[in-house]
Chains A and B, each alone.
Chain A
Amino acid sequence: MIKAILIFNNHGKPRLSKFYQRYSEDTQQQIIRETFHLVSKRDENVCNFLEGGLLIGGSDNKLIYRHYATLYFVFCVDSSESELGILDLIQVFVETLDKCFENVCELDLIFHVDKVHNILAEMVMGGMVLETNMNEIVTQIDAQNKLEKSEGWVLFGVFCLSSLYTQAGLAGAPARAVSAVKNMNLPEIPRNINIGDISIKVPNLPSFK
């Protein structure tokens, strides 16, 4: 089970928090702070696993994180998850964000946290991994966006106007800021898992009955 997924930047500002266990808002903030404290003081080239987040349930749990440019992606998981698998999941998540936002940067996450939530919802549900195939995730997200659009533009005049307004707003202030923030520049991290694509042949398996 995944207990929590946190994204925060190099200064500990939360960009997304998703808890699959109930914590009060105060505790959530405390967890984010503590996690940031643990993660941020680690060097770049140490391992991506951390034991002993004190706030999120006991010794069974681990923090698995990745650091991309300005953002930390932290998953808190228990022992039923494969450590390397989760690392890959983070990679899939970031790549999916990259695809959905077209060259994602921190600002995308800042201004569209709801969209990030929606993307995450297609990957992880209730703390369990739902889908790992990026194409499938993107397909579903696109379909939902299409549905949303059809409601907004055709069926629902009111929302149409609001969308327009939104777009005008986005074109304003953030556009200047974008240049200031560098892209996450997805590094080519060797993938541990070839999700779905590679078929593993299990040779010489004794047939069983």
Chain B
Amino acid sequence: MALKMVKGSIDRMFDKNLQDLVRGIRNHKEDEAKYISQCIDEIKQELKQDNIAVKANAVCKLTYLQMLGYDISWAAFNIIEVMSASKFTFKRIGYLAASQCFHEGTDVIMLTTNQIRKDLSSPNQYDTGVALTGLSCFVTPDLARDLANDIMTLMSHTKPYIRKKAVLIMYKVFLKYPESLRPAFPRLKEKLEDPDPGVQSAAVNVICELARRNPKNYLSLAPLFFKLMTSSTNNWVLIKIIKLFGALTPLEPRLGKKLIEPLTNLIHSTSAMSLLYECVNTVIAVLISLSSGMPNHSASIQLCVQKLRILIEDSDQNLKYLGLLAMSKILKTHPKSVQSHKDLILQCLDDKDESIRLRALDLLYGMVSKKNLMEIVKKLMIHVDKAEGTTYRDELLTKIIDICSQSNYQYITNFEWYISILVELTRLEGTRHGHLIAAQMLDVAIRVKAIRKFAVSQMAMLLDNAHLIASNTQRNGICEVLYAAAWICGEFSEHLEEANQTLEAMLRPKVTTLPGHIQAVYVQNMVKLYASILQQKEQAGEKEAAQEITQLMIERLPQFVQSADLEVQERASCILQLIKYIQKLQIKEVPVAEEVIALFAGELNPVAPKAQKKVPVPEGLDLDAWINEPPSDSESEDEKPKTIFHDEEQRHSRHRQPEIDEEELARRREARKQEQANNPFYIKSSPSPQKRYQDTPGVEHIPVVQIDLSVPLKVPGMPMSDQYVKLEEERRHKQKLEKDKKKKKQKKEKRGKHHRHNSLQTESEEDIAPAHRVDIITEEMPENALPSDEDDKDPNDPYKALDIDLDKPLADSEKLPVQRHRNVEALKSPDSEAPLVEKKSKKPKKKEKKHKDKEREKDKGKKKEKEKKGEDLDFWLSTAPPPASSTQPQGEPETSAAVVAEPQEVKKEEREEQEEEEDDEGKKSSKHKKKKHKKEKEEKSKDKKKSKKKSHQNKEETAESVQNGTLEDEPLPPMSSYRLLAENPYIKMTYDIQGNLQHDSQVTVSVIFENKSSSFLKSMELNVLDSLNTKMLRPEGSSVHDGIPVPFQLPPGISNEAQFVFTLQSIVMAQKLKGTLSFIVKNDEGSTHDKLDFKLHFSCASYLITTPCYSDAFAKLLESGDLHMSSIKVDGISISFQHLLAKICFHHHFSVVERVDSCASMYSRSIQGHHVCLLVKKGENSISIDGKCNDSTLLSNLLDEMKETLSKC
């Protein structure tokens, strides 16, 4: 009966699943929107149900609707509910929906943190996988920060399925939370050599993405990647690595040299086109990075070009496209090798595929020379005429302009030709690039003085020609050209032959249909024209004509005064008034021309686009300083818009960028010069004579050579660039003949036979003299301003934050945030009185501990290591034998390979070991290390691996003793403050107790849980039986019998640390608490409950805190006389005094105040403020300790504990 009811309700609930929804939408083609809104209403109802299956079904439908463009962010909370379902089926639906619609702005996303953490540590690998996949799509900076550590743990998961996902997602985490990069990088690097190819590929993937943005930080990985490249058989990995090398070689040319040979071999051997193509690409990158023109590399270039030609000639359009793409890269450095394939590329211009045509166009850009520019542009002009579709035509147009203007008009020998090309391009209707043409006209007319006369005549013609205005001005971008035409005619009106006619053209009523900004320019330049006409007429004494022109202006200007455009209106009314005034003067027969022309006296010089930015800030002016008092905090906090926070965050991350070293600076300077050289807007002194400009100020000094106009200026009908081509050919021919004549004369006597051969050779670039010498005026910049400082970098670039030096040792502050027991917050708070204590009480996880140690030792050991790393790379790059394989006899490749490979192995081992040892024993060990033989090392490293689990404990010991300054030349035996708590076949617990000065009645117990079994341990819960004096701090509201859950689960072989806080009243006596750890063991057979009893021993020493004390303060304390005294004596001490002190320091938390020979004073302080002073004296075979303390019970207990420790020695 009940079942029936359930079934009935389910039927009702499931009246629509995803399939039904899709079908319904397909059946409602006419009123789809209405139908969907109905469905959304139903979905809203379903989401209100308690049944998770119904909710999941609803969310699943929403995901589909999202694809159709419906915003489903309103259901974000329901999506989170479904994500947290226990069933994988629903969880997957939830995560999919989240990955499709969550983003940084989703406000409920912060609610997911714990759920995701739980899923990440789920025993079911697919729960974890689905969480990782989802997270990769919506990770936010907060999520990244909170989960970075959990994900990092997953990178060492037993299942490769999880490992590869965890590795991949780290890239997203790095992007959102750049601080995690350095702590996580060592493990990421480790994964490059993971046994599973998928994980390896993922790691390569991530590092390639990272290195692509900031290659220099990853140079040190080159040897590792080289090894992978030569050993990997996975084409995906190979492609990634080869691409990565392409990014690295520009930074290290030596790397390139090393790569050439293996890459060339790959090119010859591989059958996979994709690999071949990437190899060619990287070889090209290498060749670019090497100084060009090195003779021994010409073979490689030839090989590349030849392979690319094969690709381009292939019938597969994809290969053709890629071939052209790669060809354009070669072009930059080796234009000659590409230019010989000009035919092929011109042929591609006719391809039916637009992508291919565009690529071919790109190539043409680099292939032009003085010689072929006109010819190529002519071809392109034909294509412009033929081109259907505006996009391609626009592309052609910009390419023509790019080609001609590149390198500061380097290839243009005849500017008249160029102007006429520009004029021809104005016939293009519907182009978006009218402003481009206009800019070119202006640039050329302003900067090439010699061409002004010609330019003005052409522009006058454009103004006169109605075709530009005639067409629909609203959509037609080409009318922008008139902007340039009007300005040029006005500004250089002295070159105008029939100024009257032009003025009239500009005053035509049709002009008022032009866009406002163009009309404004018209108005302004009419006056210029008017002024020059006025002057002309006055000088000629034609007063009537002068008055006539004034009258014309007064008649026509009102049409502009009526303009709707403010700018036009304002200008026109001003000018109208001015001209009316002039008219009055003219009637009085006062000569006015001089004064009117004075309005426009002086020459305008071009100003560089960045000049404004480069004006130096005057000394003493601080633009960031407040002029008034800043507004109060409370105000700004409330009203700050969100974006401000964003900005601030970015600013913070920016200053993390490591400083640039001198070499880098030099390199950038070089790159900048290079860039300037190629930039038409930075005209610097250049070797070619025609472009040299004068540094002296003032335009008068620029030598201007008059153009010998052999061309009729006004050609009826527009197209005339062809004529220039013909003329140019003739001119060149003439030039050549002359040259030949000279040559003949010179050579006649010597080598009569060779001259004919010479003359047949194609002219080299330098032989073609420009038609007329052209001086190009440089653009002005403020004094002392460098043309391009680094202001072109986008400060918002998300990848900039990842520009982090990865070789630097980790600092204390760089740990990943770890989820801890709740009172840790308090422990972390800064304590100025006892910084050392603070450091200690933080009790971080093993890894962090390691970082801390490193930090402490950084003075010597670390530097050495870093230098070593750098040397390693240098060594790898420089001393490697030149590739000998080609010359090696076939017979003994194996042995030789082995011989070469061996030292490499050793070296690697050495490095590993070095790192390990430095961790373990600090700087001292480095002395020994060098003497050791290889075999010893091997054994040692094996031992190390075995004892790795314990090694973190050893590390702590060293750190402690170093800190206490007792460290001398003798090595110390390993010590650990972690004591065994309890152990069974599943789990082992070790613990350490730390006090905290801030809380006089609290101690923190850190317990390391180590999973010894091959099963999964979860639901761990720790509970103790409180005593009257000592109690475990439980969350509010829980009873004394409740245990505290351990905030993690343990996969096999993994250990992790949790912290628990205890409160206590009296600390003068040691305490023992009984406790139990309960947990669930999960393995293939199922899961079982288990528990482990333990006794937690709070020794008196655990209440002490290592506190440094100066000897004078120490003496005062002893003199004060409020201290109780007690002493002990222990016999049979065999260890050295120094070791003994170290032991007391380490295990009992003392610090050495003073040491004289075999006598030392020590000090410590309890969390409740008891001072404890010790005087330790060493006899022959014994040790005597005198102690003084505020509390006699505490002292005697402490001394008893010490006795116990020492008697073990």
Q: Which residues of A contact B (CB under 8 A)?
A: 1, 14, 16-18, 20, 22, 24-26, 28-29, 42-43, 45-51, 80, 82-85, 87-88, 110-111, 113-114, 117-118, 121, 125-133, 136, 140, 143-144, 147-148, 151-152, 155-156, 158-159, 161-162, 165-166, 169-170, 173-174, 192-196, 198-209
Kindly provide the distance from the CB of A28 to the nearest chain B CB, expressed in whole angstroms: 7
Structural contact, A170 and B69, CB atoms closer than 8 A: no
A114 to B265, CA, bound (A): 45
The 8 Å CB contact of A207, one of B93, B317, B897, is: B897
Kindly provide the distance from the CB of B1209 to the nearest chain A CB, expressed in whole angstroms: 46
A28 to B89, CA, bound (A): 27
- With A126-B168, A209-B900 already in contact, 20 other A-B pairs whose C-beta atoms are closer than 8 Å: A28-B69, A48-B318, A82-B239, A87-B318, A111-B18, A113-B64, A125-B132, A128-B209, A152-B89, A156-B89, A169-B20, A192-B272, A200-B238, A202-B269, A203-B265, A205-B230, A206-B261, A206-B880, A206-B882, A207-B901
Are A114 and B60 CB-contacts (below 8 A) given A130-B168, A148-B89?
yes
Kindly provide the distance from the CB of A64 to the nearest chain B CB, expressed in whole angstroms: 9
> How many residues of chain B have a CB within 8 Å of chain A?
107
A47 to B318, CA, bound (A): 5
Kindly provide the distance from the CB of B1072 to the nearest chain A CB, expressed in whole angstroms: 45
Structural contact, A126 and B136, CB atoms closer than 8 A: yes
Q: Which residues of B contact A200 (CB under 8 A)?
A: 233, 235, 238, 266, 269-270, 272, 275
Q: Which residues of B contact A202 (CB under 8 A)?
A: 229-230, 262, 265-266, 269
Q: Which residues of A contact B169 (CB under 8 A)?
A: 125-126
Structural contact, B96 and A131, CB atoms closer than 8 A: no
Interface residues in B231-283 (C-beta closer than 8 Å to A)? 233-236, 238-239, 243, 258, 261-262, 265-266, 269-270, 272-275, 277-278
Structural contact, A118 and B96, CB atoms closer than 8 A: yes
Are A83 and B19 CB-contacts (below 8 A) given A128-B206, A144-B126, A159-B89?
no
Q: Which residues of A contact B223 (CB under 8 A)?
A: 208
Kindly provide the distance from the CB of B695 to the nearest chain A CB, expressed in whole angstroms: 37
Which stretch from B353-361, B473-481, B1056-1064 is at the chain A interface? B353-361
Structural contact, B243 and A82, CB atoms closer than 8 A: yes
A151 to B52, CA, bound (A): 13
A143 to B903, CA, bound (A): 45
Structural contact, B14 and A199, CB atoms closer than 8 A: no
Are A85 and B64 CB-contacts (below 8 A) given A49-B355, A125-B136, A128-B206?
no
Are A158 and B165 CB-contacts (below 8 A) given A28-B69, A206-B262?
no
The 8 Å CB contact of B227, one of A162, A192, A198, A208, is: A208
Kindly provide the distance from the CB of B273 to the nearest chain A CB, expressed in whole angstroms: 5
Kindly provide the distance from the CB of A122 to the nearest chain B CB, expressed in whole angstroms: 8
Which stretch from B438-446, B883-891, B1093-1101 is at the chain A interface? B883-891
- From A110, A127, A159, A202, residue with most partner B Cβ within 10 Å: A202
Q: Is B1044 among interface residues, defined by CB-CB distance under 8 A?
A: no
Structural contact, A47 and B71, CB atoms closer than 8 A: no
Which stretch from B197-205, B366-374, B1130-1138 is at the chain A interface? B197-205
- Could you list 24 examples of A-B contacts with CB < 8 Å? A14-B67, A16-B67, A24-B71, A42-B353, A46-B356, A82-B239, A82-B278, A83-B318, A84-B318, A111-B19, A114-B60, A125-B136, A125-B168, A133-B198, A136-B198, A143-B126, A161-B10, A162-B17, A169-B17, A199-B233, A201-B269, A203-B265, A205-B261, A209-B901
Structural contact, B57 and A129, CB atoms closer than 8 A: no
Structural contact, A162 and B903, CB atoms closer than 8 A: no
The 8 Å CB contact of B277, one of A29, A84, A130, A156, is: A84
Q: Is B581 among interface residues, defined by CB-CB distance under 8 A?
A: no
Q: Which residues of A contact B208 (CB under 8 A)?
A: 80
Q: Which residues of B contact A194 (CB under 8 A)?
A: 235, 272
The 8 Å CB contact of B10, one of A118, A162, A196, A203, is: A162
Structural contact, A209 and B880, CB atoms closer than 8 A: yes
Kindly provide the distance from the CB of A202 to the nearest chain B CB, expressed in whole angstroms: 6
Give the residue name and chain of the A residue nearest to B879 (CB): A209
Are A203 and B269 CB-contacts (below 8 A) given A49-B318, A113-B64?
yes
Kindly provide the distance from the CB of A93 to the nearest chain B CB, expressed in whole angstroms: 14
What are the interface flags for B896-924 relative to A under an 8 Å C-beta threshold, 1 for contact and 0 otherwise? 11001101100100000000000000000
Give the residue name and chain of the B residue nearest to A169 (CB): B19
Q: Is B66 among interface residues, defined by CB-CB distance under 8 A?
A: yes
Q: Is B115 among interface residues, defined by CB-CB distance under 8 A?
A: no
Q: Is B497 among interface residues, defined by CB-CB distance under 8 A?
A: no
The 8 Å CB contact of B168, one of A26, A128, A159, A170, is: A128
A207 to B1130, CA, bound (A): 62
Q: Which residues of B contact A151 (CB under 8 A)?
A: 87-89
A97 to B17, CA, bound (A): 22
Q: Which residues of B contact A169 (CB under 8 A)?
A: 17, 19-20, 23
Give the residue name and chain of the A residue nearest to B92 (CB): A118
A152 to B93, CA, bound (A): 14
Structural contact, B93 and A114, CB atoms closer than 8 A: yes
Q: Which residues of B contact A209 (CB under 8 A)?
A: 876, 880, 900-901, 903-904, 907
Q: Which residues of A contact B269 (CB under 8 A)?
A: 200-203
Q: Which residues of B contact A (CB under 8 A)?
A: 6-7, 10-11, 14, 17-20, 22-23, 26, 51, 53, 57, 60, 63-64, 66-71, 87-89, 92-93, 96, 100, 103-104, 124, 126, 130, 132-133, 136-137, 161, 164-165, 168-169, 171-172, 197-198, 201-202, 205-206, 208-209, 212, 223, 226-227, 229-230, 233-236, 238-239, 243, 258, 261-262, 265-266, 269-270, 272-275, 277-278, 317-318, 320-322, 352-356, 358, 876, 880-886, 896-897, 900-901, 903-904, 907
Give the residue name and chain of the B residue nearest to A85 (CB): B274
Give the residue name and chain of the B residue nearest to A191 (CB): B272
Structural contact, A206 and B885, CB atoms closer than 8 A: yes
Q: Which residues of A contact B226 (CB under 8 A)?
A: 208
Q: Which residues of A contact B206 (CB under 8 A)?
A: 128
A152 to B17, CA, bound (A): 15
Structural contact, B235 and A147, CB atoms closer than 8 A: no
The 8 Å CB contact of A195, one of B235, B273, B320, B352, is: B235
Q: Which residues of B contact A84 (CB under 8 A)?
A: 273-274, 277, 318, 322
- From A80, A110, A132, A144, residue with most partner B Cβ within 10 Å: A80
Q: Which residues of B contact A121 (CB under 8 A)?
A: 96, 130, 133
Structural contact, B87 and A20, CB atoms closer than 8 A: no
A50 to B100, CA, bound (A): 25
Kindly provide the distance from the CB of B424 to the nearest chain A CB, expressed in whole angstroms: 26
Structural contact, A195 and B236, CB atoms closer than 8 A: yes
Structural contact, A148 and B230, CB atoms closer than 8 A: no
Q: Which residues of A contact B23 (CB under 8 A)?
A: 111, 169, 173-174
Structural contact, B322 and A204, CB atoms closer than 8 A: no
A169 to B20, CA, bound (A): 7
A156 to B103, CA, bound (A): 32
Are A126 and B172 CB-contacts (below 8 A) given A114-B60, A209-B900?
yes
Structural contact, A129 and B236, CB atoms closer than 8 A: yes
Structural contact, B10 and A46, CB atoms closer than 8 A: no
Q: Which residues of A contact B876 (CB under 8 A)?
A: 208-209
Structural contact, A193 and B212, CB atoms closer than 8 A: no
Structural contact, B880 and A208, CB atoms closer than 8 A: yes
A174 to B22, CA, bound (A): 11
A205 to B238, CA, bound (A): 15
Give the residue name and chain of the B residue nearest to A149 (CB): B89
Structural contact, B885 and A46, CB atoms closer than 8 A: no
Q: Which residues of B contact A45 (CB under 8 A)?
A: 317
A129 to B269, CA, bound (A): 26
Q: Which residues of B contact A20 (CB under 8 A)?
A: 137
Give the residue name and chain of the B residue nearest to A139 (CB): B161
A144 to B882, CA, bound (A): 52
The 8 Å CB contact of A22, one of B10, B104, B164, B886, is: B104
Structural contact, B236 and A85, CB atoms closer than 8 A: yes
Are A147 and B88 CB-contacts (below 8 A) given A111-B18, A202-B265?
yes
Kindly provide the distance from the CB of A84 to the nearest chain B CB, expressed in whole angstroms: 3
A70 to B351, CA, bound (A): 26
Structural contact, B89 and A114, CB atoms closer than 8 A: no
Structural contact, A193 and B236, CB atoms closer than 8 A: yes
